């Protein structure tokens, strides 16, 4: 392992935990994971390569384990421990093609070993890469369908369903040349039976009942999904025109502001989108209905995105796609 790339910082980036602190966190991991099945991985079997990003908590590294490229997610401070244990507990319960896979965990140092997404986040694909990758409405539909499938699975889990609570493009990863979407970052996920009033999620995608401090349900994920749909259809950051702080966005959403409607967006898609961002959670459809509606629309429209050739971007820094499917025109009203 190269200096400075370990899961916990070296002297250059701050002190690592003491043996006593590691033991405490390991005990907490064991308690959090009680009843869950995942592999206990030896850290010595992992070859850490480089830091690739951050999640809701901790740093994410690219690494190799058993000849497979993986992502290693660590915690940097005790304040991140709670979210770490939540993600460990929740990811160990799930198994779905549209949810990032947990291979196991290490207890010294403490980290999660997960599936690596070679295409990065949907957010970076939409807004961060240069030259800007080209995609079509067909791909936007496919990504949103896959997101809905993953969330519908979470909401239907037994005996305890899960609410993600932080759905947004930075937490949606792309693999398989950008054709497969996977939900990640479960540090704020919770059981559906939990009485929830605490403020989780990011302002631009957050349902109004969440930041208003009201009791909320799985319908908060439905609201977030509708904002994601708008974002991938327009390739614009939601509420970017408002500017200012997160409070400005929350105040606008509280007062009924939503992203502008999209000119030439097929009516069934617009209807679904506006139903999902309704002020009243009870008026939003369940995610199972969102999934079924999107699946039906994909079949009716014969939408199936296919990537062609991958190319290196400027100075080899980015990867982008040349898509083969024609666009249907979408513009802001």
pLDDT band at 12 (very low <50, low <70, confident <90, very high): very low
Domains in the chain: ranges and CATH: 19-115 (3.30.200.20), 122-323 (1.10.510.10)
* Residue 73 marked as a ligand binder: yes
How much is the pTM? 0.80
pLDDT band at 123 (very low <50, low <70, confident <90, very high): very high
Active centre residues (catalytic): 166
Instruction: Please report the pLDDT score of residue 121 as a whole number.
Output: 93
Q: How far apart are CA 114 and CA 105, in angstroms?
A: 9
Decide if pLDDT at 7 tops 90. Answer: no
Residue range 86-96, pLDDT digits in tens = 788 888 889 99
Residue range 259-309, pLDDT digits in tens = 999 998 899 999 999 999 999 999 999 999 999 999 999 888 777 665 533
DSSP string of 222-283, one letter each residue = HHHHHHHHHHHHHTS-TTTTT-S-HHHHHHHHHTT--PPPEET--HHHHHHHHHHT-SSGGG
Residue range 48-82, pLDDT digits in tens = 998 988 766 678 999 999 999 999 988 777 777 77
């Amino acid at each position: 392992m190269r200096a400075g790339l370990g899961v916990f910082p070296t002297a250059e980036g701050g002190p690592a935990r003491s043996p006593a602190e590691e033991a405490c966190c390991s005990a907490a991991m064991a308690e959090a994971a009680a009843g869950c099945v995942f592999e206990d991985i030896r850290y010595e079997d992992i070859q850490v390569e480089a830091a690739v990003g951050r999640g809701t908590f901790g740093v994410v590294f690219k690494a190799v384990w058993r000849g497979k490229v993986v992502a290693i997610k660590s915690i940097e401070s005790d304040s991140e421990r709670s979210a770490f244990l939540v993600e460990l507990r929740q990811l160990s319960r799930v198994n779905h093609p549209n949810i990032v896979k947990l291979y196991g965990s290490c207890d010294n140092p403490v980290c999660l070993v997960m599936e690596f997404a070679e295409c990065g986040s949907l957010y970076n694909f939409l807004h961060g890469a240069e030259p800007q990758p080209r995609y079509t409405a067909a791909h936007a539909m496919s990504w949103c369908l896959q997101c809905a499938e993953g969330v519908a699975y979470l909401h239907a889990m037994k005996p305890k369903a899960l609410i993600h609570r932080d759905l947004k493009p930075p937490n949606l990863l792309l693999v398989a040349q950008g054709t497969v979407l996977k939900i990640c970052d479960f540090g704020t996920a919770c059981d559906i039976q939990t009485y929830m009033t605490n403020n989780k999620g990011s302002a631009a995608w957050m349902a109004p009942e969440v930041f208003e401090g009201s009791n909320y349900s799985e319908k908060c994920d439905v609201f977030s999904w509708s904002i994601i749909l708008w974002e991938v259809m327009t390739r614009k950051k939601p509420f970017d025109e408002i500017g200012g702080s997160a409070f400005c966005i929350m105040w606008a959403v509280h007062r009924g502001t939503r992203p502008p409607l999209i000119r030439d967006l097929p009516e069934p898609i617009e209807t679904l989108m506006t139903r999902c961002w309704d002020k009243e959670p009870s008026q939003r459809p369940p995610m199972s209905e969102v999934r079924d509606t999107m699946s039906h629309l994909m079949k009716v429209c014969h939408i199936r995105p296919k990537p062609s050739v991958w190319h290196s971007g400027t100075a080899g820094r980015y990867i982008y796609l040349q898509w083969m499917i024609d666009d249907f025109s979408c513009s802001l009203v």
